[in-house]
Amino acid sequence: MESRDPAQPMSPGEATQSGARPADRYGLLKHSREFLDFFWDIAKPEQETRLAATEKLLEYLRGRPKGSEMKYALKRLITGLGVGRETARPCYSLALAQLLQSFEDLPLCSILQQIQEKYDLHQVKKAMLRPALFANLFGVLALFQSGRLVKDQEALMKSVKLLQALAQYQNHLQEQPRKALVDILSEVSKATLQEILPEVLKADLNIILSSPEQLELFLLAQQKVPSKLKKLVGSVNLFSDENVPRLVNVLKMAASSVKKDRKLPAIALDLLRLALKEDKFPRFWKEVVEQGLLKMQFWPASYLCFRLLGAALPLLTKEQLHLVMQGDVIRHYGEHVCTAKLPKQFKFAPEMDDYVGTFLEGCQDDPERQLAVLVAFSSVTNQGLPVTPTFWRVVRFLSPPALQGYVAWLRAMFLQPDLDSLVDFSTNNQKKAQDSSLHMPERAVFRLRKWIIFRLVSIVDSLHLEMEEALTEQVARFCLFHSFFVTKKPTSQIPETKHPFSFPLENQAREAVSSAFFSLLQTLSTQFKQAPGQTQGGQPWTYHLVQFADLLLNHSHNVTTVTPFTAQQRQAWDRMLQTLKELEAHSAEARAAAFQHLLLLVGIHLLKSPAESCDLLGDIQTCIRKSLGEKPRRSRTKTIDPQEPPWVEVLVEILLALLAQPSHLMRQVARSVFGHICSHLTPRALQLILDVLNPETSEDENDRVVVTDDSDERRLKGQERGR
């Protein structure tokens, strides 16, 4: 059974029921039930309840600043500092801090004396030593959090001495008293720190480098009172050959102390700033971080290195960024990203994304550093495959010049992959693999190119409403060109032909580019009836891309299609362009825009699969012309078939076939066209739709047998032979 907290005494009624003497030891009978309940609520785990109780207590006491309630409140809060439940101590400490902040006439020295008298470390029993230690510690923290301690010289000196005494009980309090001491001294004035410094800092470098707190106190003094520190300790070079191993050990201890908190220790960032100030950053990074902490194979130390890298980004020059982004820390980070795949395994990537996003957002006026960091993270690869995802939210913080430079870098790396510039690595399992094909440069190039093309598409996907139209057009032309065309001879009229491949573009890679292109087309045409799917000229993006494809087809001396067009297919392409011009005369009609998108989309698919799209394109053009009231052009040798179905039935069959395609954009356009031809549906066209919705029914009464498997099919054939 849990014992009752000392801060929560029995009520008189409880004492009577238990048979105890109804003595009013705490003066409860003098106070209201509402007042007493405040102290119970302050210790509750719910934050809202605690804060509300503290505020109500302060409001209650403001009406009785000189009464017995104030004395009782102080007594209860001080008693609460030593309660058995450790989760309640911070609650009472914070409430005491707010009380001291609200009532500045309460003397801090008197409060500190009451705490020390109640929890006297020299007289307390051994079993109660730990609660007494924490009560003294949280008492000092309450004085500090009130904001008054650094202004009260006498209380400050007494608190410092108490913290130094508490620091001797490391088994119970660990380094918390020293951390509290550093926090307090970081808030005091320079004059006060000069006076206190000899009392809190030993003039012994071995002691200074024995713990993160001692070193942090040294760095604090070096920053605020360097002359006083030099008189006390002398001239100290923390980054000397002798001190580097000590710094590594101190940082290892700091990493262990924040293992559960998952944050960067303050001492690590302070050492980084000192190294930058003293122009010793390369030595600090190489010897302390990479050759020291990282070589320990201790994950808390590795996470400290990762956090230090992320926190250092805003502080480094372009040259220093190059140093850290080409070293062992970023390579080890890449290995962590690749191997941290289990559901419950800690993943550092989201934290690093926050660091990078904060850096990019904070240096909008420095596109060169933005570009350097983004290129560096994109160059961390696992056998050619970058460890950052293709869709990376941090790109939204890029300034226009940095974004343009990043897109240019991606395109250049796609055409001429520079594998030597990558920070590449292989996991342990990949190193053990005996398959030599896993380590060939061609495989790395393919993995890199596939990532690059989808990264380009993801940039447009997330930023196409904010991107400059010229940059969007560059990406779209780049994807279309390398999806369906090959350069025969460079020409200045087509910039895409002027940059050759250093590694040939294999069929598998070209398929990836084609897939990415249609994904890009989906992005640019998502709302093709609205402005976002159009260029500044008012034309859909697909229309401009078809024009670009036509330009390429007309430069047959310089460019050729991957799958060459036959004469019939080229004729179908030209007829499509002619139909597009004819549609412009009907631009006032709503269905003309839907027909235009359908024609453009199927026309682009002619580049991907000419044999499949050629006849489909011709049928669509015939239906469009008929629907607009024009007679289709026919050859003189071809007679008119009186049994030819109406155009709407042919178009319905085409649209139903397109709805079965895996392309979301194709299905979307088909649905839009359906909406514009509903008024023209014939009974037969409507039946075609119903047959798709309910395939078990058919218009023909003789076709009621549904073939469900091979046995049904064989039975049906036997019946036909019998008849």
CA dihedral 14→15→18→20, nearest 10 degrees, is: 180
Give how far Cα 428 sits from Cα of 361, 368, 423, 431, 433, Å: 36, 35, 16, 5, 9
Surface-to-core class of residue 134, CB atoms within 10 Å of its CB (0-12 exposed, 13-18 middle, 19+ buried): buried
Residues 6+ positions from 77 with CB-CB distance below 8 Å: 7, 39, 42, 92, 95, 96, 99
Our measurement of the distance from residue 89's CA atom to the centroid of its chain's CA atoms, rounded to an integer in Å, reads: 36
Nearest 5°: CA angle at 40, between 39 and 43? Answer: 90
SS3 139: helix
Token pair in block for residue 304: 């400290």
pLDDT in tens, 140-195: 999 999 999 988 889 999 999 999 889 888 788 888 898 899 899 989 888 888 88
DSSP class of 540? B
Of 645, 542, 559, the C-alpha closest to 593 is 542
The number of C-alpha atoms within 13 Å of 237 and in the hemisphere containing its C-beta is 7
Residue 76 and residue 7 in contact, taking contact as beta carbons nearer than 8 Å: yes
pLDDT at residue 84 in the model: 59
Given a cut of 90, whether residue 197 has pLDDT beyond it is no
pLDDT at residue 534 in the model: 55
User: Could you give the CA distance from residue 676 to residue 655 in angstroms, rounded to a whole number?
Assistant: 12
pLDDT in tens, 585-618: 776 676 777 788 888 888 888 898 888 888 888 8
pLDDT range class, residue 717, cuts 50, 70, 90: very low
Residue 377 and residue 313 in contact, taking contact as beta carbons nearer than 8 Å: no
CA dihedral 3→7→11→16, nearest 10 degrees, is: 40
Task: Return the percentage of the chain with pLDDT > 70, whole number.
Answer: 86
Range from 25-34, 217-226, 276-285, 299-308 carrying the lowest mean pLDDT: 25-34
CA dihedral 36→41→42→43, nearest 10 degrees, is: 110
pLDDT range class, residue 85, cuts 50, 70, 90: low
SS3 238: coil
Place of tokens 């202004």: 151
Residue 614 and residue 572 in contact, taking contact as beta carbons nearer than 8 Å: yes
Residue 109 and residue 36 in contact, taking contact as beta carbons nearer than 8 Å: no
Rg (alpha carbons) of the chain, rounded to whole number: 38
User: Phi then psi for 491, rounded to 5 degrees?
Assistant: -145, 145
pLDDT at residue 651 in the model: 81
Residues 6+ positions from 719 with CB-CB distance below 8 Å: none
Residue 69: how many other CB atoms lie within 10 Å: 19
The number of C-alpha atoms within 13 Å of 317 and in the hemisphere containing its C-beta is 7
User: Could you give the CA distance from residue 6 to residue 361 in angstroms, rounded to a whole number?
Assistant: 51
Given a cut of 90, whether residue 636 has pLDDT beyond it is no
pLDDT in tens, 434-477: 777 777 899 999 999 999 999 999 999 888 777 888 999 999 99
User: Could you give the CA distance from residue 56 to residue 307 in angstroms, rounded to a whole number?
Assistant: 41
Name the β-bridge partners of 386.
381
pLDDT in tens, 279-312: 999 999 999 999 999 999 899 999 999 999 999 9
